Amino acid sequence: MTNIELPDNALDLVRLQDQVAQRLAVVSLAGLSNRELLAASDINERSNRRGVGVDARLFAEVSQRGGRIQVASATLRGEEFAVPDRFPWEVRSAVLTALIEGGSGRDVSASLNVGLATVHKWAHRAGLRYHFGKTGGVIPMTAGQATGEVKYRRLTLADRSFIEAGLACSPPLSMRKIAAELGVAPSTVSREIKTRQQLSYKAQPHYHAAAAHYAAVADRIRPRVVKLEVFGELRNEVVKRLNDRLSPEQVSAELRKEFPDDPEMHVSHETIYQALYVQGRGALRHELTVEKALRSGRAVRKPRSKLPAATNRPWLEGARLTDRPAEAADRAIPGHWEGDLVIGSRNSALISLVERRSRYTLVGRLVDNRLALTVAEVLQQMAVRVPDALFSTLTWDQGPEMSEHAQFTVATDCKVFFCDPHSPWQRPTNENTNGLIRDFYPKGTDFNTVSDEDLYEMERLLNRRPRKVLGWNKPREVLFEDITGVALAT
């Protein structure tokens, strides 16, 4: 093994070419086969080293030890050849240090006599987040990253690159020194080196940061069985509630409420969404009896309609939203309702009423016509189903179907108030409820063919649906408590 002293400027290694050429008997390798070249040079392909300088056709194995370049000689047909490595670890370490300290790639390349492409490559391999350009450089660490607090965390590629650099120093840094710099426990560093170090072709242990990081990431992948992939009680309960047209979030909340002490019966709404649309190409969806698993039936958002011209509506006088008592705007007091029509085909429609505090829903059917007198009569029949004390006000849009609202007010003592034009957000609960009804009866449904029993069943399901806004209580429970002052047993 032939030793060559490094000059004072360790970065100007090109000058060593002449020294090597003078001290070694160089033989041209032209005409040799690839197998002979590899056998002669004993190159470790995984070391990613390139011999340059003396002759492009020459190969050598070079390693750095204790501040010297040790040039290994190989014998081929009685003659020796060798080429020094151009960039030992000290050069790469200097480049990375300069980048981390804020130097741009171009400045570091020029000052350390290293190609710009090589600078970029080393930064990438070290896991440094890097900006390119004349003023580019390593993205600074955040305050959390820069602190050296000892706490549990996974080692990053940058951490492992520092471990590799620390072990390559002369003398190598101690485990405690490396751990202190990284802000981790010494046992973490010791375990990392012991687990990830590799044996070279000379049976010497070496630590390779990139390879260690790749192996660590691969070891972290531990696929586990998703709860809903197993056919069991939990899956059956989820399917049952989805068939009752509960949303995934409502299903998740109701299961936690019904099985508070059984974690195996708890599932997140995101897991349900995944089972419906991702896992097994939505295998869970095929077990449902409903046509669609979720309320949303559109692929894109519905565009806003063009605003029609305003018309005279004499029935609005004295009954505008600004005339409504202040307590109606506060959901703390029960008895204030919102209403609207759900339009069907063949001149049919439903009347939907929802109580603002409890979200309790009433549904009535209009047969053959949507005339104002018919609407007033059906509203009177619906109001009878609720105690008079819980029917104080009704908020509606400005549709002509409520032009006879005075008749309804006289019969029920419930005052009607009208929203501003094109302002559905002023009765948001009813708009949401209409969307729930459309989940049962899509647009184009002929309500003349829908039986009262079917409407009552839909109404029952809506009032037994847990609502997030109610703390996952059900509308019927809240309304019953408002009427009696006693919580309803579920």
Domain spans of the chain, in order of start: 2-86, 91-220, 227-287, 317-484
Most confident of 69-73, 178-182, 200-204: 178-182
Sign for the pseudo-dihedral over CA of 384, 386, 389, 393: negative
Instruction: Convert the pLDDT of each residue in 425-484 to its tens digit.
Output: 889 999 999 999 999 999 999 999 999 999 999 999 999 999 999 999 999 999 888 877
Indicate the DSSP class of residue 450.
S
pLDDT for 462 = 94
Above 80 in pLDDT, residue 162? yes
Above 80 in pLDDT, residue 358? yes
pLDDT for 436 = 93
In whole numbers, what is the pLDDT of the chain averaged over residues? 73
Position 80 confidence tier, pLDDT thresholds 50, 70, 90: very low
**Please, which residues have CB within 8 angstroms of residue 172's CB and are 6 or more apart in sequence?**
166
Average pLDDT rounded to a whole number, residues 362-388 = 90
Q: Is this prediction's pTM over 0.85?
A: no
| Phi and psi, residue 197, nearest 5° | -70, 155
Above 50 in pLDDT, residue 323? yes
Cα-Cα end-to-end distance for the chain: 87
pLDDT for 472 = 93
User: What CATH code would you report for 317-484?
Assistant: 3.30.420.10
Higher pLDDT, 113 or 63: 113
Residue 36 pairs in a beta bridge with none
Above 60 in pLDDT, residue 489? no
pLDDT for 364 = 93
Token reading at 248? 């995934």
pLDDT for 279 = 55
pLDDT for 398 = 86
pLDDT for 458 = 94
Average pLDDT rounded to a whole number, residues 80-107 = 67
pLDDT for 230 = 73
